[in-house]
Amino acid sequence: MAKADSTTKPTSASNKVSFTAGRVAAFKCPEGKKDAFLWDDKQPGLGLRAFASGKKTYIYQVWVNGRTQRAVIGPVESFDIEQARAEASKLGALASQNISPAKVKREKAAAELAEEQEVKRGSVTFGTVWAEYVDANKGDWGQKHYRDHLNFVQAPGKPLARGKDSKTGQPLVTKAGCLYPLVSVKLGELTATVIKRWLDNENKTRPGVAAQSYRLLFACLSWCNEQPDYAGLVDVVALKSKAVKKTVTKLKPRDDVLQREQLPAFFAELLKISNPVIAAYVQTLLLTGARRNELMGLQWSDVDFKWQSMAIRDKGTSKGSVAGVRVIPLTPYVASLLNQLPRRNQWVFSSPSGKDGRLVDPRKSFDPAVIAAGIEGLTLHGLRRSFATLSEWVEVPAGVVAQIMGHKPSATAEKHYKQRPLDLLRVWHERIEAWFLEQAGLVVPAAGEQRLTVVKGA
């Protein structure tokens, strides 16, 4: 409904008739005008508005609170004459109480919205919202993070593309994702009790995955509340009850780290990895202390072989969703590793099977190498922890290590007074690399080929 146009001419006998089906059908907007009005002399205020486009609607016009106001009843195709008169009569009764058509429209729209939300609350499932959430945000995620979201809601019993059961010889099938039990739950039925029951069940077999799923679940629900179509359908605060929070497994922080005496076996097994990209990636991860996803995102344009530097898109210096960049030295051994890699595309650590052409998950080669080296429980992130820990053997200033790794300064002097140039970082970083290689018994010939040799004192 819209307020009346103050320029509308008052009705007159010349354009007032008793509405009939024939008169309504015959009434048209005169050529050269944008619209025209015809008024019913049987029901006061009821009018017919014809547009130049040929569209015709029933309207109601009335004087309320010192102003002419107009309401759209609806198109002539949706109302017959008697229905239009009945609707006009209702609006007239309200107008006699100084209730304007505009107020009627607002109240009707609010009631319709509330009814629509109740319908959604009773029919929209978590699985529907999850699919929309993933589709809306996948452009901002890495490939692994996106794949994790798909795996968390995957249905059980779907045949996998590769692999067979060692006992039956049958193709392997998927297991139910951790969030799969909630996929068919309607949003209106998603209560704190339901979430606690789900957590209790998942904690029996996979508490760590359940804790991660819990965080992703509420990230999705928070996004849901920000969408016009779903706003108000769930109360995120109420769902995070004390009982629910207590059910979430508190994971102990990992402390896996390489020991100095483990370096020879570790490097020996890495050099046996048949995939040179994965072998180079894991070694670079250890010798730079970078985060795994930072290094996976390294592009050839980020590597400067002439001036021996690498530009890392830095999570630690990011602001909002815009990542910062830190420039670190390209040390001799790492340079030799990267120089030998195939240049298939823009990614340094590329993969022909990766969705966007880059390495996604090196653990299929990394985990067996770690087991063969006799090192239990070492993770890819543990290599970052190892860089920070083992660098102390070279007595490197803590601030240098933090700057190379992309950690935020932890002291006032580091934050405000020390700005180390790349060449100063290079002095220390090359010492760190040389120490690692010496402990591992690994040297790099002039040609850049890798080989294991016994270094005196290693």
**One-letter identity of residue 358:** R
- pLDDT of residue 160 exceeding 80: no
pLDDT number for residue 449? 46
> How far apart, in whole angstroms, are the C-alpha atoms of residue 219 and residue 410?
30
| Percent with pLDDT over 90 in the chain | 54
pLDDT number for residue 451? 45
Q: Which of 241-255, 288-302, 319-333, 353-367 is the least confident region?
A: 319-333
Q: What share of the chain is helix, strand, coil (3-state, %, to 5)?
A: 45, 15, 35
Q: How far is CA 65 from the centre of its chain?
A: 51
Helix (H) or strand (E) holding 73: strand 67-75
- pLDDT of residue 224 exceeding 50: yes
User: Mean pLDDT in the chain?
Assistant: 83
pLDDT number for residue 141? 82
- CA-based end-to-end distance of the chain: 86
Arithmetic mean of pLDDT, 327-342 = 95
The answer to whether residues 117 and 227 touch, using CB atoms and an 8 Å cutoff, is: no
pLDDT number for residue 161? 66
- pLDDT of residue 39 exceeding 90: yes
| Percent with pLDDT over 70 in the chain | 83
What DSSP state is assigned to residue 54? S
CA-derived radius of gyration, the chain:
35
**One-letter identity of residue 21:** A
pLDDT number for residue 4? 37
Give pLDDT tens digits for 172-217: 788 899 999 999 998 878 899 999 999 999 999 999 899 999 999 9
Which residues, 6 or more positions from 65, have their beta carbon under 8 angstroms from its beta carbon?
A: 98, 100
The answer to whether residues 230 and 136 touch, using CB atoms and an 8 Å cutoff, is: no
Torsion angles phi and psi, residue 25, rounded to 5: -70, -35
Q: Which of 74-78, 325-329, 448-452 is the least confident region?
A: 448-452
Arithmetic mean of pLDDT, 160-180 = 75
pTM: 0.56
pLDDT number for residue 445? 46
pLDDT number for residue 229? 76
Across the beta sheet with 303-304, what order do the strands follow? 303-304, 309-319, 322-329
Arithmetic mean of pLDDT, 359-379 = 90
